[in-house]
Every structure is written in C-alpha cells, then in structure tokens.
A and B are shown apart, each in its own frame.
Chain A
Amino acid sequence: MKAAPFEYSRARDVDEACALLAADDGARVIAGGQTLVPMMVMRLARPTRLIDINRIAALSYIRQETYKDGDAVAIGATTRQCLIERDALVSARLPLLALAMPWIGHTATRARGTIGGSLANADPAAELALIAITLDATLSYREGGKTHEVAARDFFVGPMTTTLPSGACLTGVRIPAWRGRVDVGFHEINARRSDFAFVAAAAQVELGDDGKARRLAIGIGAATDFPIRLDSAEKDLAGTALDDPKVREAVRGALADIEPLHDLHASAEYRRRAAVNLAVRAIADARASAQRKKDAH
C-alpha cells in the first residue's frame, strides 16, 4: 500500500498554502495526516501535490478571545490534538471538549492529528465535529487572501463533505465558552474503545441554583451523515430539572425523524436507540457532576 506519486511543498504561511492550492486542482493540504495518509496509501485519495502546513506557527494556538458578548476559546487549525487534550484553558473553559479528547483515536494519532484536519475531513463519527456542532463553533478559513467564517452548523453538509471551498485552507475554530456553572457529559459506543463510534452523544448544561437547566446543548454524532443538534429536545428541556424520563422522552422525540446510518457495524434502529440512551446518559452525567459540585460547597 504505497501512495500514488505527488509533488511535495512546504508552505511558510497560510496565503502561500492557498496560492499553491489555487495553482493546482489536485493539490491538497496535509497537516497531521492521520486520515489523509491512509486514504492515500489505499489510493482512495490521489493528490498531485501535498502542501505541508505543519510548520505554519501562526496556525497553532490555543487562546482566549472575546466574542460577541462573551468569551471563546480559539484554537488554530494545525494545533495537535494532544496539546488540546492537555491544555489548561480548554479544561477550564471548554470542559466538553476536554472530556471528548481522550476518545479520539489513540495516543499516537492524537500526537500528530490536528483539530483542523479532523474538521475538514468531516468523518460522520468524528468527535471534534460533534463538539463543534454542539457548542456552536465558528470555523475560519482563508481563501484568495481573505479570511472567511462559517458556523459549524453550516459547515458539515454530508458524509466527509463540507462547504470548505476547494482552494481554501482552514485556519482555526472558535468555540464559545459558556458563563456560569457548566457541566458536561460525553458518551460513545463503539466496538473497541478507540474505534470510530457507532453513536456518540455530547451534552453541556448550565444548571441554575434551583437545579433547573438554564441552558443546554445536546449533540449526536456518528448516527447520521454529520453530527446534529437536538434542537427540539433542548427547547423542551430548558427550564426543567432534567430528570431521566423527561429527558428520554424529549430526546426520543427529537430523534424520531432522523435517518440513521446503516452499515456492517450497526443497524439504523440500533443507532437511533443508542443515540437516545447515550444522550440520556450524557445529560445524567452532567446533572450528577453539577450535584457533586453543589454538595462540595
């Protein structure tokens, strides 16, 4: 399994990368390569030129930013997943992302894989795509000398398909950090621990002192072509104490009309059922975590 021949360039900055992309239809950007290289050696992807962006320092960062009327954590596209996994700011302000990180691949793939690479690849089961959707991330990309932004909700449009234009290079992702007391839950079901998930559920909850949800976000990944938000369930559950039966009912309702994926790993009905169960668990985890913090005071 050897890749088809290609030319190799190293871009010193993102505009150079874009210029190289624009010059050759068959050119592709390579960052961590953890998904691109397997596709290339199996000859499912055959770029004529690889543009290595690993050395563009300006694309690797984790920093706090103000955004609209709140805070956000901005992460550069070529930031290695292992750095995100260990980062104190992420841990403090994006606990849902921190919780999901160990589920992504293996230690050795997180050592090289980048957040931008995962988002651009848009595997239906990718945890980072699920988190981006759940937390209303905004992705930025560079094309023709200009920076553009796109909401995560608008970015993923199909399995392995995004709205990223062909000559563009992702530059970063900005994830809003909620104010107040935030609790999170994340669950996956897969054949082996580090496999692609059949279904994943991510939940972030802001509980008030009265134990009722001020705000919540629920995302389901791996069940459909791209991750989805359970908007109707979020609406139904806002202001409630998030007890299991009500959560189950709301989530089930939200998932009733989706068309889950069907493959050798799991049937569509399995995915639908598992999505409900995992979402309930994720929310229960968030609730329990909130309770523990409350008890600790």
Chain B
Amino acid sequence: MRIELDINGEKRTVEADPRTTLLDCLRDNLGLKGAHAGCEHGVCGACTVLCDGVAVRSCLMFAPQAEGSAITTIEGLTPGPGELSVIQDAFCETHGMQCGYCTPAMIVAAHALLANNPQPTRDEIVEAISGNLCRCTGYAQIVEAISLAAERMRGVNRPREQR
C-alpha cells in the first residue's frame, strides 16, 4: 500500500506492505539507518524515534500507523553535515557509548527528556533511559552525557562535580 509519512519535517511517500514496521520502513524504504533493530519486540529500545515529539519504539508501530504524525529520527536531530547538536557533542565529551549501536536511540530519548525537563535529576535521567538497553557502557557515561547536555543547554557554566 501507499504510505505517506512526515519524516524529519519532509513529506515522504513509500510503497510497502502494511506489515512493514516503522523501523523497517525508515531503514529499508527511506534509507535512514540511524534507528537500529535490537530485539524487534519492543524491549531493547534501540529503535527509538520521536513521534510528535514523544519517544516511541519504532519496531512496535506498523508503518501505516505513523501516517498523520511527525516522525523525527536521529538524522533529523543532527544540525547539518559534520555538525553535532549539544546533546550529541555531550555524548562525545563524556564518551557515553562504545559500540554505538544503542546510541542514536539514547540520544533521541535524551532529546525527549530535555525538551520537557531542562533540569533533570540523576534519577530522572536514569528513569528516562531505563527503556534503552546498553550492553557496553554500564550507563554511567551516558547519564553523565545527558546531565552535561542539560547543563550546557541551560547555558550554565560551572565546574562539573566529581563523578
């Protein structure tokens, strides 16, 4: 069937079976490889994208269900070629990743958190990423990345506390 989507602010039309998940549609039909498949049953979170600004699991939506919503992927959160957003740069600063597989999803989840909560506590950050599994980092440097990003986005310059 013909599916009309709004991806990163752009109208995109694809021809796909209704059983195509939004994740597979993004990756296979639209060439957006940033969202990743980790489990395909909604537990690991590696497929996380924003749907109308809210973090959702793209492996748990069939592509036609995304019609009428604004979908934002990691590609849409990247400012431009060779550029990094504040959050992306913060992840680089703290090395909040290793293999990079869960990373786009973590950053999408961070975006969703910080859009609603500019000054999250450590517990709030932990809760916000608790639906995104990482097997490399043990989460510590990810939490620090989000905390650092929040600080920078608030425009506050003060020495970071001892980890």
In chain A, residues 44-81, which have Cβ atoms closer than 8 Å to a Cβ of chain B? Answer: 50, 52, 54-55
- Classify the interface of chain B: helix, strand, loop or mixed: mixed
Cα–Cα distance between A3 and B55 once the two chains are bound (Å): 23
Cα–Cα distance between A5 and B64 once the two chains are bound (Å): 14
Residues of A within 8 A of B40 (CB): 1, 41
Residues A52 and B65 in contact in the complex (CB < 8 Å), given A6-B19, A109-B131: yes
One digit per residue, 1 when the CB lies within 8 angstroms of any chain A CB and 0 when it does not, for chain B 1-25 equals: 1000000000000000111010010
- A49 and chain B: residue at smallest CB distance: B18
Q: Is B57 an interface residue (CB 8 A)?
A: yes
Residues of B within 8 A of A1 (CB): 40-41
Q: Is A194 an interface residue (CB 8 A)?
A: yes
Residues of A within 8 A of B138 (CB): none
Interface size range of chain B in the complex: 20 to 34
Q: Is A7 an interface residue (CB 8 A)?
A: yes
Q: Is B54 an interface residue (CB 8 A)?
A: yes
Q: Once the chains bind, are B54 and A82 in contact (CB under 8 Å)?
A: yes
Residues A37 and B42 in contact in the complex (CB < 8 Å), given A106-B130, A109-B57: yes
- A1 and chain B: residue at smallest CB distance: B40
Residues of A within 8 A of B65 (CB): 30, 33, 52, 54
Q: Is A107 an interface residue (CB 8 A)?
A: yes
Cα–Cα distance between A7 and B17 once the two chains are bound (Å): 9
Q: Is A111 an interface residue (CB 8 A)?
A: yes
Known contacts A30-B62, A107-B112, A109-B57; can you find 18 more A-B pairs with CB under 8 A? A3-B62, A6-B19, A7-B18, A8-B18, A8-B64, A33-B65, A37-B60, A37-B61, A40-B19, A42-B41, A55-B68, A82-B54, A106-B45, A108-B45, A108-B57, A109-B60, A111-B54, A111-B56
Q: Which residues of A contact B (CB under 8 A)?
A: 1-8, 10, 30, 33-34, 37-38, 40-42, 50, 52, 54-55, 82, 105-109, 111-112, 193-194
Q: Which residues of B contact A (CB under 8 A)?
A: 1, 17-19, 21, 24, 40-42, 45, 48, 51, 54-57, 59-62, 64-65, 68, 109, 112, 127-128, 130-131
